[in-house]
Amino acid sequence: MKLAFIGSGIMGEPMCGHLLAGGHAVALHSRTKSKAERLIAAGATWCDSPADAARDADIIFVNVPDTPDVGKVLLGVNGVIESARPGTIAIDHSTISPTATREMASKLAAKQVTLLDAPVSGGDVGAKNATLSIMVGGDKAAFDRALPLLQLLGKTITYAGRSGNGQLTKLVNQILVSVTNLAVSEAMNFAQQSGLDAAATIQAVGGGAAGSWQLQNLGPKMLKGDFTPGFMIDLQQKDLRLVLESAKELNLSLRAVALVSDLFATAQSRGWGREGTQALFKTIGRSDWP
């Protein structure tokens, strides 16, 4: 199958690498050519625009930062829509607005191009090890056709229903991740400040109703003062903005998400935007963190 890949950032590069390693021809475009060099060396064919990359492709993968970037790549000047043939599938792995996704899908559908929204979770480690979770919205037949390729990229691949539902599922994931992180941050500050052995406290309570992935994985990092990013606050903030925008469209009040987002803004103002989300711990805690 002829593939196109657009975006060779921290997630896109290893994902594109897995497709190449799977024996597929890949036409590659990236905003910054220098970031594509390793993939070109691995056999990808460089293209000067999304339209060039998409021209001969059966399936087009997109992995760029945010909603406007996806809009430009798919629908803009020299975008996918200018060259993609009828019957092509576009798979967007970026985390972007569910509503914008549906609008783009309908514009592409007018050219018989099927858009699948397929945001991922699992971070750069998941991308490197092909252990990502991928949540997919859009036409089921297109999903079935794309599935063997998605299985080169991730481990848990879920079909979530109509266009936009992959994005919505990812946003549910981000609500859970961020508010549970706040639970752990408050609990670890309370444990530490009250004089408990906070690491032993995780052991004592983590196996029961208080347990979570965030507690087991971020709790110990908080206590060690290890704020190296598994997932960066700046990126989490982008996703929470999408959550709050969607909640507004639904007339839904998400006070805990709004609170976390506000606290992450404080973290960003203190220069911690590129630290891991576990830096929420120090954001709400003692005032003497560097």
Which stretches of the chain bind a second copy, using CB under 8 A?
98, 121-122, 133, 135, 156, 158, 160-161, 165, 168-169, 171-173, 175-180, 182-184, 186-187, 189-191, 193-197, 200-201, 203-205, 207-215, 217, 231, 243, 246-247, 250, 252-257, 259, 263, 284-285
CA-CA distance, 154 to 145, in Å (whole number)?
Answer: 16
Question: Smallest gap, in angstroms, from Cβ of residue 29 to a second copy?
Answer: 30
Return the number of the residue (70 or 260) whose C-beta is nearest a second copy.
260
Question: Smallest gap, in angstroms, from Cβ of residue 186 to a second copy?
Answer: 5
Return the number of the residue (114 or 214) whose C-beta is nearest a second copy.
214
CA-CA distance, 192 to 179, in Å (whole number)?
Answer: 20
Is 238 tagged catalytic?
Answer: no
Question: Smallest gap, in angstroms, from Cβ of residue 227 to a second copy?
Answer: 17
Return the number of the residue (21 or 200) whose C-beta is nearest a second copy.
200
Catalytic residue among 170, 221, 248, 282: 170
Calculate the CA 59 to chain-centre distance.
Answer: 20
Return the number of the residue (265 or 284) whose C-beta is nearest a second copy.
284
CA-CA distance, 286 to 183, in Å (whole number)?
Answer: 17
Give the chain's radius of gyration (CA, Å): 20
Q: Are 158 and 134 in contact (CB under 8 A)?
A: yes
CA-CA distance, 228 to 140, in Å (whole number)?
Answer: 39
* Interior angle at CA 130, CA 277 and CA 261, nearest 5: 20
Return the number of the residue (32 or 217) whose C-beta is nearest a second copy.
217
Question: Smallest gap, in angstroms, from Cβ of residue 35 to a second copy?
Answer: 26
Neighbours of 73 (CB within 10 A): 29
- Angle, to 10 degrees, between the axis of helix 165-193 and the axis of helix 213-224? 50
Strand partners, 25: 2
CA-CA distance, 7 to 29, in Å (whole number)?
Answer: 6
**Residues classed as catalytic:** 170
